[in-house]
Chains A and B, each alone.
Chain A
């Protein structure tokens, strides 16, 4: 039984990491209705830039600030160059544009920093916590716990930001209805710039945590694919959805791999989350926390 709990907790904690990536998607979708496929590439770009600065000998927090600056510039440039010409286009066009953006970001990151994998050390060891394994016999990584803590802090602050500040209210207004928001004088382009900046910040945090765990390499871009089932499970518009979805996906993925995997030959982590999310959708077509859409003719 303690093995079951160990797998479960390990899955939940890695689910938090998925949520971090999914969060970036949700932020942009909420505020602009754009399904930003480039989020994975942004994570990769941010992590690679951060490591690049660190390896140049820049002080940790200064590198963090520099990378954040780069992400802000990137977000603003995306808004200006990619999104603004595409205002009023159907959502699928915007989605395709972000796939194009994915290619640009992947190319740009490797062009600037080279394509070899890097290690990243952010000062937290990936080792089991002694007192927990002594007390219960379960191995729970210190790193995973720290990542979960960071994610929780991030989510709380974002939730507060969205619900309590002036900008947050403007963001929600824009998400609700672009034209109505414009009509009451909310500067749409400024708001989009802010959203992309925040998404860049989330990408940076996710990139640092994932990079520290698995190394900064091209495979980071595939994180987007890990985050998608989390998104459809939780609902595209919901921050709590991203968290709960991440937890469900993380836990069930690990449990399925351990208990179901041996029967079908293993390697089911790639598609199991999607099938799970699909089954969820059959019951609730807009995800767990998504907004219910009423179709009218």
Chain B
């Protein structure tokens, strides 16, 4: 029994509605934020910051975006990477073509651009459902990548659409160290995650969930389907767009449209599924799992190789990695279909009573 909510009374509506209603939860989240903002940049080395933690946060943001659409509003989408690409290229173009634009404003505008594209490709959702819609979102995936490659204007006429993101400058201070980029990413992700958490508890979020559970019933009780579905597409795409902009500006620096391919969409979808459909926390857990797994396999493989004294043929490991990755996904779906977030919840409920049986 680590802690429980006994004795913490709520005396006002504000207290009743806060996200973390238990004091210990608030302390834990505060400690986590302090840890992420202060301790990690001091302790972690360059590799961890720039190759693991930054992409992890960026993908977590994209996963939150997809989770809003798929987990909360129930519209399956396979075009996440396309919306990320829109965000990345929009941010690049705003910084390039509008002199002196603050980077954060460019990011916000990039999010809005992605939202508009999202609404456009979300329009079919008013008429088609389920897998038909999923396949329809593939149209977004292929069309956006094709358009960004084909029309030189988007990439300032560079060959095959490759763009090099500009430097991140905030109030005259240039963010170019791994720690700086990590903190920049972390700040944006933390703010947006908090916003998402509040959004899904609001009337908008409840309308999304009603539509997810059954859209005919939702419309019968007076929820406007068009508004609800399109707002889910818009906000989800905006999140993905900002994630894409971060991907270009804070993580890779140089991106091409082909980098935002279907594989990437699937990776984000895996994060949502493995993390937990319809859970903001799950988005982070899923992103951590998918980002860390290949790194773990890569590190573990040579150890096994040495341990067994085997000489693996080239390409063996990458194929084995594919197999393990696929098998783990199937395993997770079979064992815990509600994802890591559910495991976390079960763990919390168990700890609430532990070590007493009742």
Contacts and interface: CB of A to CB of B under 8 A. Distances in A.
A161 B90 CA distance: 53
Contact of B131 (A35, A85, A93, A99): A35
A106 interface: yes
Contacts of A50: none
B344 interface: no
Interface string B315-344: 110011111011111100110010000000
Given A82-B330, A225-B138, A107 B131 contact: no
Nearest to B324: A107
A228 B333 contact: no
B330 A100 contact: yes
Contact of B321 (A96, A107, A232, A287): A107
Contact of B128 (A228, A281, A295): A281
A275 B128 contact: no
A285 B322 contact: no
B150 A264 contact: yes
A106 B315 CA distance: 13
Interface stretch (A56-64, A209-217, A266-274): A266-274
A294 to B, nearest CB: 10
Q: Tell me what chain B mostly uses at the interface: helix, strand, loop, or mixed.
A: helix
B216 interface: yes
A229 interface: yes
Interface in B106-160: 124, 127-132, 134-136, 138-139, 142-143, 146, 149-151
B135 A229 contact: yes
B269 A96 contact: yes
B330 A282 contact: no
Given A96-B273, A107-B323, A270-B142, A232 B329 contact: no
Given A228-B135, A236-B131, A285-B132, A100 B327 contact: yes
B150 A274 contact: no
A285 B130 CA distance: 11
B214 interface: yes
Contacts of B269: 96, 99
B33 interface: no
Contacts of A268: 146
B337 A267 contact: no
B274 to A, nearest CB: 9
Contacts of B136: 232, 274, 277-278, 281
A115 interface: yes
A96 B333 contact: yes
Interface in A56-77: none
Given A81-B330, A97-B329, A100-B326, A91 B139 contact: no
A103 B322 CA distance: 5
A228 B129 contact: no
Contact of A104 (B76, B266, B323): B323
A185 interface: no
Interface in A88-113: 89-93, 95-97, 99-108, 110-111
A275 B143 contact: yes
B184 interface: no
Contacts of B131: 35, 91, 95, 232, 236
Given A81-B330, A229-B135, A115 B323 contact: no
Contacts of A115: 315, 319
A282 B127 contact: yes
B308 interface: no
B143 A111 contact: no
Nearest to B262: A225
B327 A277 contact: no
A86 interface: yes
Interface string A182-218: 0000000000000000000000000000000000000
A111 B316 CA distance: 6
B217 interface: yes
A257 interface: no
Contact of B127 (A264, A275, A281): A281
Interface string B212-226: 001111001000000
B217 A96 contact: no
Given A225-B138, A232-B136, A278 B150 contact: no
A166 interface: no
B322 to A, nearest CB: 3
Contacts of B37: none
Contacts of A111: 316, 319-320, 323
B343 to A, nearest CB: 16
B329 A103 contact: yes
A6 interface: no
A229 B135 CA distance: 7
Contact of B139 (A264, A274, A286): A274
A13 B278 CA distance: 44
Shortest 8 CB-CB distances between A and B: which pairs? Answer: A103-B326, A107-B322, A100-B329, A274-B139, A271-B142, A104-B326, A85-B334, A107-B323
Given A89-B337, A271-B146, A274-B139, 11 more contacts: A82-B330, A86-B333, A93-B337, A96-B269, A100-B326, A107-B319, A115-B315, A264-B150, A277-B139, A278-B139, A295-B216
Interface of B: 70, 76, 124, 127-132, 134-136, 138-139, 142-143, 146, 149-151, 214-217, 220, 262, 266, 269-270, 273, 277, 315-316, 319-323, 325-330, 333-334, 337
23 contacts: A35-B131, A92-B70, A95-B131, A95-B134, A99-B266, A99-B326, A100-B326, A100-B329, A100-B333, A108-B319, A110-B322, A111-B320, A115-B319, A228-B138, A232-B131, A232-B136, A270-B142, A271-B139, A271-B142, A275-B143, A278-B124, A285-B129, A297-B220
Interface of A: 35, 81-82, 85-86, 89-93, 95-97, 99-108, 110-111, 114-115, 225, 228-229, 231-232, 236, 264-265, 267-268, 270-271, 274-275, 277-278, 281-282, 285-287, 295-297
